[in-house]
A and B are shown apart, each in its own frame.
Chain A
Amino acid sequence: MTNRIDTLFARLAADKRKALMPFLTAGDPDLGATVQALNEFTTRGAHIIEVGIPYSDPIADGPVIAASYHRALEHGIKVAQIFQTVRTLRAERSGAVDQTPIVAMVSYAIIHRHGVESFLEEAATAGFDGLIVPDLPLEEATRVLEVASARNLKLIQLITPATPRERASRIAASTTGFIYYVSVVGITGERTGVPSELADSVAWLRTQTSLPICVGFGVSTPQQAQALAPICDGIIIGSAIVRRMAEAINRPRNEVVHEIGDFLAEIARVLEPAQSEHAPPPR
């Protein structure tokens, strides 16, 4: 069975390009805005979109994303509505979105309540291509892995600088789709600068797996993205987008979504191979 994530990374690898992976919180401020943003992202250079499913008690996310989850929940967002939104988008088969992999970032609290089989079945039929379950470490992931594999959903697992190497190898071995490498120990959020030990860790990880390695947690500027690009296969941008999206409550939504599009386009530009080869080396 083909999966959009595999197809994408094969294509990007052939072109020597890097994946740009923006994150947004479903239903922040409402699902209309989410649809608008999904369309905008795909036309402004996003390769994969990570859709955060709001959860009342996120411990894996930083304050910016946690606040967006609470905003969405205050407006009564339900998992079924998020699935419906993605199902509709997929059914429209509208240009870019149609081929763009969509990955759900979802707490295991929600998956467990819906039932592993039922949640994964619904996610797959709605048109999700993979799952990131940030509070489901390797030891607890067996069942989800089995069901995900049967439903052709990728289970993208996280490796952090605090993960011992022996453990990192085991996580890499059971991950599907791509590896989500957390660049800074800690919770999601924007940080300045690129940690120096990152390149070594990712280089070592390459000796353990043939999966694409994407780096996230704390990437907020085109400069950071450009610096990270040479060592990884993709860049995940979360808080920097969600923080901008939060303004959609007080300002015209089209304007806010378009500005995020501009921000993504700027990052997409520095990630292009011709550009990054000629760019000054990162300091």
Chain B
Amino acid sequence: MASILKDDRSVASESAPDTSRPQGPDSLGRFGQFGGRYVPETLIDALNRLELAYEEVKEDREFQTRLAGYLKNYVGRPSPLFHAERLTRHAGGADIYLKREDLNHTGAHKINNAIGQVMLAQRMGKTRVIAETGAGQHGVATATACALFGIECTVYMGEEDIRRQKLNVFNMRTLGASVVPVSAGSKTLRDATNEAMRDWMGSSRTTHYTIGSVVGPHPFPMIVRDFQSVIGRETRVQSREIFGRLPDTVTACVGGGSNAAGMFAPFVADHEVELVGVEAGGRGPCAGEHASSLTQGQPGVLHGSMSYVLQDDDGQTLPVHSISAGLDYPGVGPEHSYWKETGRARYESITDVEALEAYNLTARLEGILPALESSHALAQAQKEARRLGKGKILVVCLSGRGDKDAYEVARLRGEPL
């Protein structure tokens, strides 16, 4: 099988951060008109300190070597790039390869960022880490990293999400984190984010806020993108090793957009590689029925940055829906808005039903249970593969595994679990 790596040392060394390919944002944290810092003055000094500390570790070989060590020996990187032959045959077009982030420790790409940020927190002398979580994947990853480095951890989670994701809540507590239920507003991810920011405003002297996606005020979108870029860097190296060139198209799901940003960023300068982000189309295009910020929303401010958002005409955030809790967010990272506006990436929308079909299909044809989030990318990949045709190559970021979704899928099928 061509997808088995010949030599993972070469992947590890060649996929180290490449500082010769600088990317945005500018000094105000902007990607074009997007990004910036729309936060209270109380946070500005903390953000400035974080930015300085991050610029330092970015150039610090020792820090980067330590991080690479944890990614290799603790997370299990590099994650394989697997040729999905039966999915390819089923789609009847381009060869489909899966970037297996689901095989990471804790079962998703979230750990790449959590390890990096908790190491950064420790280096800054912070004794406590806070995080927000929706489905609980980022919460579990942060709780895991905090256990690993011996740092106190508090995770904010909406009451509604706590109810839906009992297993992750149980695991976070087992890992030593305290999970704080958020009862405000819609009791979901966006309210958990508000609460985490509020905590940080009063605690930034001792506490680092490990944000889970490429959202929030500068420098968070940049930091999370950089820590997640290991996905795209490995994919470039593996592509050359396995099929001798870069893929024609790369696709990933987009909620806040961290796995997509991590996959896309290292390919941005490779203009021959088409980038396709996939949003949650939910039950359809009516307001409140989906979470497609880029394809249905417009530029606005949410959670500290300017980006595409789902708002009503008064500027109030709209309710969102997706079958997948990880995509159920009314905003998106500012860099995705920039890539959309500049045409560097294309964004599409996949409905709940299509995602569920891809979930089932990938299970039956490849023996892989994908997360419902990743199932959106897998559904779009089928369409893209057919469009591209034979002889072309498509890489899908399989951002997480589907174990956490068993209860939700069983409920939708009407099967007791």
Seen from chain A, the residues whose Cβ lies within 8 Å of a Cβ on chain B are 55-60, 62-63, 66-67, 70, 73, 78-79, 107-114, 134-140, 157-160, 162-164, 167, 171, 182, 185-187
User: Which chain A residues lie closer than 8 Å to B300 at the CB level?
Assistant: 109, 112-113
Determine whether the beta carbon of A60 is less than 8 Å from that of B315: no
Determine whether the beta carbon of A164 is less than 8 Å from that of B202: no
Known contacts A73-B316, A140-B36; A112/B41 CB under 8 A: no
User: Which chain B residues lie closer than 8 Å to A159 at the CB level?
Assistant: 41
Q: Point out the residue from A113, A136, A186 that lies within 8 Å of B201, measured CB to CB.
A: A186
Task: Decide if B364 is an interface residue (CB 8 Å cutoff).
Answer: no
Known contacts A162-B46, A187-B198; A57/B190 CB under 8 A: yes
In the docked arrangement, what's the CA distance between A248 and B194, Å? 26
Determine whether the beta carbon of A140 is less than 8 Å from that of B38: yes
Q: Point out the residue from B39, B42, B185 that lies within 8 Å of A56, measured CB to CB.
A: B185
Within 8 A of A (CB), among B201-226: 201-205
For A62, A134, A140, which residue has the most chain B Cβ atoms within 10 angstroms?
A140
User: Which chain A residues lie closer than 8 Å to B303 at the CB level?
Assistant: 57, 59
User: Which chain B residues lie closer than 8 Å to A56 at the CB level?
Assistant: 185, 316-317
Determine whether the beta carbon of A163 is less than 8 Å from that of B45: yes
Determine whether the beta carbon of A58 is less than 8 Å from that of B28: no
Task: Decide if B181 is an interface residue (CB 8 Å cutoff).
Answer: no
Closest chain B residue to A161 by CB distance?
A: B42
Contact with A along B339-355 (1 / 0, CB 8 A): 00000000000000000
Q: Point out the residue from B37, B45, B185, B202 that lies within 8 Å of A140, measured CB to CB.
A: B37
User: Which chain A residues lie closer than 8 Å to B28 at the CB level?
Assistant: 139
Smallest CB separation, B323 vs chain A (Å): 23
Task: Decide if B356 is an interface residue (CB 8 Å cutoff).
Answer: no
Within 8 A of A (CB), among B21-80: 28, 36-42, 44-46
Smallest CB separation, B256 vs chain A (Å): 14
Determine whether the beta carbon of A139 is less than 8 Å from that of B37: yes
Known contacts A62-B198, A134-B40, A187-B201; A164/B45 CB under 8 A: yes
**Size of chain B's interface in residues, with CB distance under 8 A?**
36
User: Which chain B residues lie closer than 8 Å to A66 at the CB level?
Assistant: 184-185, 194
Please provide the 5 A-B residue pairs with the shortest distance between their CB atoms, ordered closest to farther: A186-B202, A113-B315, A110-B315, A60-B40, A109-B301
Determine whether the beta carbon of A171 is less than 8 Å from that of B41: yes
Smallest CB separation, B275 vs chain A (Å): 27
In the docked arrangement, what's the CA distance between A164 and B48, Å? 11
Determine whether the beta carbon of A59 is less than 8 Å from that of B184: no
In the docked arrangement, what's the CA distance between A66 and B205, Å? 24
For B28, B36, B194, which residue has the most chain A Cβ atoms within 10 angstroms?
B194
User: Which chain B residues lie closer than 8 Å to A67 at the CB level?
Assistant: 184
Task: Decide if B197 is an interface residue (CB 8 Å cutoff).
Answer: yes
User: Which chain B residues lie closer than 8 Å to A62 at the CB level?
Assistant: 198
Determine whether the beta carbon of A112 is less than 8 Å from that of B37: no
Determine whether the beta carbon of A186 is less than 8 Å from that of B36: no
In the docked arrangement, what's the CA distance between A180 and B245, Å? 58
Determine whether the beta carbon of B314 is less than 8 Å from that of A185: no
Known contacts A163-B44, A186-B42; A55/B37 CB under 8 A: no
Task: Decide if B143 is an interface residue (CB 8 Å cutoff).
Answer: no
User: Which chain B residues lie closer than 8 Å to A171 at the CB level?
Assistant: 41
Task: Decide if B17 is an interface residue (CB 8 Å cutoff).
Answer: no
Known contacts A162-B46, A163-B45; A113/B314 CB under 8 A: yes
In the docked arrangement, what's the CA distance between A135 and B39, Å? 4
Smallest CB separation, A216 vs chain B (Å): 12
Determine whether the beta carbon of A114 is less than 8 Å from that of B42: no
Between-chain CB contacts (< 8 Å), 19 pairs: A57-B190, A57-B191, A57-B302, A59-B197, A59-B304, A78-B314, A107-B301, A112-B306, A134-B41, A136-B38, A158-B40, A159-B41, A160-B42, A167-B45, A185-B201, A185-B205, A186-B42, A187-B42, A187-B201
Known contacts A56-B185, A63-B184, A139-B28; A113/B41 CB under 8 A: no
Smallest CB separation, B180 vs chain A (Å): 12
Known contacts A62-B198, A67-B184, A113-B311; A160/B41 CB under 8 A: yes
9 extra interface residue pairs, beta carbon distance < 8 Å, beyond A60-B39, A112-B315: A57-B194, A66-B184, A109-B300, A136-B38, A159-B41, A160-B41, A162-B44, A162-B204, A186-B201
User: Which chain A residues lie closer than 8 Å to B45 at the CB level?
Assistant: 162-164, 167
Closest chain B residue to A59 by CB distance?
A: B197
Smallest CB separation, B156 vs chain A (Å): 12
Determine whether the beta carbon of B202 is less than 8 Å from that of A110: no
Determine whether the beta carbon of B41 is less than 8 Å from that of A108: no
Known contacts A59-B303, A66-B184, A139-B28; A182/B41 CB under 8 A: yes
Smallest CB separation, B300 vs chain A (Å): 6
Smallest CB separation, B68 vs chain A (Å): 34
Determine whether the beta carbon of A109 is less than 8 Å from that of B311: yes
User: Which chain B residues lie closer than 8 Å to A162 at the CB level?
Assistant: 41-42, 44-46, 204
User: Which chain A residues lie closer than 8 Å to B190 at the CB level?
Assistant: 57
Determine whether the beta carbon of A57 is less than 8 Å from that of B44: no
Determine whether the beta carbon of B185 is less than 8 Å from that of A114: no
In the docked arrangement, what's the CA distance between A73 and B312, Å? 12
